[in-house]
Amino acid sequence: MVAHLALLLAVVLVAAKVGGEIATRLRQPPVLGELLAGLLLGALPWSEFRNLGSDRTVDMLSQLGVLILLFEVGLESTVRDVLHVGKAAVAVATLGTLGSFAAGFAAALLVAPHSGLALHAFLGAALTATSVGITARVFKDLGQAGSPEARTILGAAVLDDVIGLVVLALVSAWITNGHAGVASLLWILGKTLGFLAVAIFLGVRVTPRVFGAAARLRTRGALLAVGLAFCFLLAWAAGAMGLAPLIGAFAAGLVLEDLHSAAFVARGERSLSQLIEPISGFLVPIFFVLMGVRADVRMFANAGALLLLVALLVAAIVGKLACALGAGRGVNRLTVAFGMAPRGEVTLIYASLGLTLIANGTSLIDSKSYSALVGVVLLTTILTPALLKWTLGRPRRDAAVAA
């Protein structure tokens, strides 16, 4: 058993790094290469690789990778970052979420009208969250990292993560509770926001003391142990409340700041973010490769599956055009809209979660819907740089007219 797992992990990790390296050389995010590596593994004729997606031990490692990923995403921001985003960034994030949900819901309803309200809502929700890593890279390459468009998009991205995960918790709990009515839906929303508020409020006040006490320990590794324990504790608390554990992991990362690592860094140790990197480098690629393995490329030989992919892709881009309405004056609104278009890790988390949610006695999403979501992540990641370069190359008067 252990030997078999060791072989699978060796193959997955090598495939992830080779795929990530190729993607990086092609000026694409590593996650794109990791997904494609998984698609290739899943398409190989050997049963060892075809069954990789159903291996429970590998799946558990990938789920831990998701928790670490969300914890890491939270660590990259702070509560102050969320509170201090500008009005334009708030409008961009909010309108983009609403527009994407509406467009995704409409696309799913149009292509698969008999699939049920739960699937339509879930696919709409899966398109709400933006992954702006590739957008930031394009702005940097073009020497416009300090442009008004870049600042608006990056500010919106901070809030976008929070909104996307709240929507995830809301929709998943709603489906789990059997499509509850309006009152129950409001209760789920209140519970989600309440959990985040309490976790952040208590965390900001309690964690400095906890980490201060840990700093007095002579045992090395105390910072990493306490940080991970805090992440896993909040993940458990979210699950105990009927919410996605991912919400707790993200909240834990959001609470912790550089201040928590200051005493450790002062005595020559690495910060919490740096300590998490090796763990993330091991577990997170397993998640992305596994997502690729589970996507069946043969599905797209089916006209229905291909139509769903095209419909969701159009919805993913059109839905974010609503962001243009929230951009401030003097900003190229189309650039902001396209900069919010790429989907990434959160959409993949939605896809993974959809396989575990049960509706009418079966998994909420089938291989067709799952593969379509993975396809949307791949295609929006590839298309965004070209769309951005096109809009940034247009005369600046477009921004003035749009304002």
Which CATH number characterizes residue 55's domain? 1.20.1530.20
What phi, psi does 269 have (nearest 5°)? -90, 165
Q: Are 95 and 328 in contact (CB under 8 A)?
A: no
Residue 398 pLDDT grade (very low, low, confident, very high; cuts 50, 70, 90) = very low
Alpha-carbon distance of 294 to 59, in angstroms, equals 11
Amino acid code (one letter) for 157: A
pLDDT at position 50, please?
66
Percent of the chain clearing pLDDT 70 (strictly above): 94
Euclidean distance between the first and final Cα of the chain, in Å?
Answer: 62
- Classify residue 327 by its DSSP letter: -
Task: Quote the CA–CA distance of 252 and 254 in Å, as a whole number.
Answer: 5
Question: Would you say the pTM of this structure is higher than 0.75?
Answer: yes
Token pair in block for residue 178: 């059997």
Element (H, E) at 386: helix 367-392
Give mean pLDDT, residues 233-239.
Answer: 92
Of residues 253 and 398, which shows the higher confidence score? Answer: 253
Task: Say yes or no to pLDDT of 299 above 80.
Answer: no
Tokens encoding 41: 């593994």
pLDDT tens digits, one per residue of 46-97: 766 667 877 889 989 999 998 998 898 888 877 777 766 678 888 998 999 9
Dump pLDDT digits (tens) for 323-354.
988 887 778 889 999 989 988 888 888 888 88
Domain tally, the chain: 1
The answer to whether residue 318 scores a pLDDT higher than 70 is yes
Count of other CB atoms within 10 angstroms of residue 386: 11
In sequence order, which residues have a C-beta less than 8 Å from that of residue 86 and are 6 or more positions away? 152, 155, 328
* Dist. CA 317–CA 294, nearest whole Å: 24
Residue the block writes with tokens 């208590």: 202
d(CA 325, CA 312): 22
Q: Is the pLDDT of residue 370 over 60?
A: yes
- The confidence band for 146, taking pLDDT boundaries of 50, 70 and 90, is confident
* DSSP assignments along 177-194, one per residue: TTS--HHHHHHHHHHHHH
Each residue's pLDDT tens digit, 88-119: 888 998 999 999 999 999 999 999 998 888 89
Sign of CA dihedral 113, 117, 123, 127: positive
Structural domain containing residue 101? 2-402
**Residue 359, Ramachandran bin (φ over 0: left; ψ between -120 and 50: alpha; else beta):** beta
Q: Which is more confident, 130 or 127?
A: 127
Residues with Cβ < 8 Å from 45, sequence gap 6 or more? none
